[in-house]
Structure 1
């Protein structure tokens, strides 16, 4: 005799709406969760199904639930759109080619170490974190077979990034490395047998900062810029170069000497692509190290005095790029031992960087409105995120109370909210007003909700308010900065990439890169600030090995030992 189905019809309550769902104890928990998804639109990875004693886990034994017909389960989680029929034929993962798999899984490809090339691999992975660079490279037409070495290197970078985006496997940067060694022979230097751990006959380890600068120089020489937002559909920025737009700033230089009071100061300007962080015996954090590099003393001939004098050289930033690179000057030449040496000192760096102390007076004045507006918006968003988390915690508390009551046979067939019994309506559109009040804010409007302290906004109101805040920030930008494509208009940055060096030897060791793993959608952003506000994942690129790490691991890269220590940092503008 065939086995009778043990499936039962139960109730699932989500955001005040009661759904009829079939539960089959002989099937895995994932099947029940999928049935819930079909009804509620809450993806499986966001579902928190409350049962007696906690939440339903994916590996739970469904037979132990002893579910009864009509029993109510409480569900927490942010819903997405309900599933719809596929518009294209379904392709299963096992049937995908490498390119399709890379796009579907968003898997990041590592780079094969071709013999002491970790310095190059780590640099390439961090530069790949600049989406505008990818766009500019896609607009770059020349191939790799021309007579211009800089153009060939740029074309090789374009092809390398395209290949990395089409594979889930580690990729060997052979073409790029070959052209790099042609245009910059220093990177073809062979290792000496006296170098520890290197042996003779292979290529020598190189400095990641030197290859970073060399790549930017090649891009500056050949890669065209991007158009301003008002330039319509044009594909070039005229004669402007990409690096000049997005990765180069401008510094004003003032030189004066106290030894000749009558001598007028001299002024000049110069571009920069990297801000140096000098490290001395008193340097504890990055900002002070950068200020030390901007305020220097030098000796030079004074025409007024007719002799050499000590001059104060004060540098201040007069143009900020959208992407700011900082370099920790950890390697220096020790004359007493005639050897390159590494500074191991611990130097803290911020995830959020305010560069106001580095700026000229004129630029400080221009960025002030946008600077103040962004800080105000961030403060308001943090407060709203706290309200959302408090509301969520209260809902979870009430749902656990409901789950405990639903486990009582005497309460089967009823739905509860806040511990108060309420009859289940046969209408699936029925809502529980008590739970609704405990949930997100009412639809009184995002702007009005802001004037009600402590109230949690709905997802819709949160998105509307964020759009208004974005518009307010844009309106606060100084006209001169609004016209400057690729500049930073607020003086505020966030960390997105780090190149580290591991080991005590300056000419050896190992380079690794760390790149922030950005959220894929606004929905995920709202989910994160509600559930895990301090969680931020980063990719770790160790040549061909790619993994994810927490933000705490990035904090630990500030030095003080022979483990990986921050060497190059890439910041991008806050918007």
Structure 2
């Protein structure tokens, strides 16, 4: 029998559940957690006196319908259910469906999990990740849990509980199951550490291959050549590090290469802008042993990016350890971040040279578009709207021509490097902010540009560009819209929401 009704007894209370023996014990424990409130990582399940472990096989137990499973473990407070019944998209009328699709759903806070909720909303702004996850069919792990989470979020108009994903994340990374100092519930965690762990866990997500005809081949059926993982393609850069000895200039410099998932923006009393903070982290003085002198000497380490990914993550290094209070304190300083970011200054001379031709033409095109935009604003429309319609069609054709022109200017090697930035020019599409004075407390919120979640499907070019000034604010289960001016106010200067992780595309 594949599925069978069984009894689960926790203390004096019994529950009837359906056991699916085709699924691993961890899935069954998730069902038990839903009805008992006992976290999976603190749960002990027994059948006929034998403990059911996560890695156990059901054949070892030969469960039968009607048998009783004993559950040991203290229950935490169950998360509150939605105030109104969950409504699925297929059950909505046309009006309800239109309203629901315009506003993405939030994530329910499962007890100090705002750090994870904000991070998940930021990652959801990467459409290529959604496509790769949809094609993933691996075993139960963080990657499959993330796929199922995003699918579940897309099928409802109400806030979604990320319990299954959270359970697996805590199993793989026990640090996120740490209890608060008072012993009441789970402790607050660092969103940057959560982001790193989730992205690192996606190392089993296959990358994208190019089919023989140039189309994207997710399954790689048309090519036997090895391909990089998705994260390596779209989110990982490469850094070239050069180290020279200050005390002995004639000592040969050393060169090393390393892969990076993010750029750090160091914040000092002199840091006012994101770019200066990043450069400060790339150029450092290091003391180490000199083979020439036979003693310690001062070296200058200069790092520059030799590969820029399509999605570039910047980490504002705002937390540092204070020994006097034995906790992570927060740097409140205001640091301006750009909406449009030119990363050429961070690139190696070789990469900058490959990016320059297309960058120069892009800047010229932007000036030409601005002039055309001014003309369109002054143009009066006819009563039947035909003038505006003609202007829109003309602009679409011009942009199609511009795109073809730019594609010819892109470096040939960059074209074949799937997931690499072709221009070195980025736009801010999402960020995570922290509100509070320390890493062990406070509140995280996710912010995502509207067109990164809901792609414009109609309207004029000017209408679509206006959508770029609208942002979604993801405050756990509460989702609202804000304008671009609100995002500019997230640069710090106090305990209010401050930019912590920024995602550029």
For normalisation by structure 2, the TM-score amounts to 0.77
Shift of 1:388: 0.6
Q: Please name the residue that 2:156 is paired with.
A: 167
Relative contact order higher in (CA < 8 Å, ≥ 6 apart): 1
Q: Distance in 2 between matches of 1:245 and 1:526?
A: 30
Whether 1:208 aligns to 2:191 is yes
Q: Please name the residue that 2:442 is paired with.
A: 509
Change (3 A) 1:190 1:300: same
SS of residue in 1 equivalent to 2:217: coil
Change (3 A) 1:99 1:475: farther
Q: Distance in 2 between matches of 1:102 and 1:263?
A: 68
Q: 1:489 aligns with which of 415, 422, 426?
A: 422
Map 1:134-145 to 2 at 5 A. 134-144=130-140
Q: Please name the residue that 2:277 is paired with.
A: 289
Shift of 1:201: 2.3
Q: Distance in 1 between matches of 2:468 and 2:394?
A: 24
Q: Please name the residue that 2:210 is paired with.
A: 228
Q: Distance in 2 between matches of 1:539 and 1:254?
A: 41
Any conservation in 1 of the 2:471–2:481 contact (CA below 8 Å)?
A: yes
Map 1:390-405 to 2 at 5 A. 390-392=378-380
Q: Distance in 2 between matches of 1:97 and 1:358?
A: 51
Whether 1:97 aligns to 2:32 is no
Change (3 A) 1:99 1:249: farther
Any conservation in 1 of the 2:105–2:156 contact (CA below 8 Å)?
A: yes
Q: Deviations over 1:136-183 (max 9, x none)?
A: 001101242xxxxxxx11000000000000111001100100000111
Q: 1:120 aligns with which of 109, 116, 121?
A: 116
Map 1:319-398 to 2 at 5 A. 319-392=307-380
Shift of 1:536: 1.1
Shift of 1:535: 6.8
Which has more radius of gyration? 1
SS of residue in 1 equivalent to 2:379: helix
Q: Distance in 2 between matches of 1:373 and 1:347?
A: 30
Q: 1:156 aligns with which of 137, 141, 145?
A: 145
Q: Deviations over 1:230-258 (max 9, x none)?
A: 54463235431000000000000000112
Whether 1:217 aligns to 2:200 is yes
Q: Distance in 2 between matches of 1:191 and 1:98?
A: 41
Q: Distance in 2 between matches of 1:178 and 1:339?
A: 27
SS of residue in 2 equivalent to 1:135: helix
Any conservation in 2 of the 1:103–1:165 contact (CA below 8 Å)?
A: no
Q: 2:292 aligns with which of 298, 301, 304?
A: 304
Shift of 1:562: 1.0
Q: Please name the residue that 1:263 is paired with.
A: 251
Q: Distance in 1 between matches of 2:97 and 2:500?
A: 30
Any conservation in 2 of the 1:296–1:314 contact (CA below 8 Å)?
A: yes
Any conservation in 1 of the 2:89–2:155 contact (CA below 8 Å)?
A: no
Q: Please name the residue that 1:562 is paired with.
A: 495
Unaligned runs of 5+ in 2: 1-86, 221-225
Change (3 A) 1:102 1:142: farther
Change (3 A) 1:255 1:560: same
Number of residue equivalences = 409
Q: Distance in 2 between matches of 1:178 and 1:225?
A: 26
For normalisation by structure 1, the TM-score amounts to 0.68
Shift of 1:466: 0.6
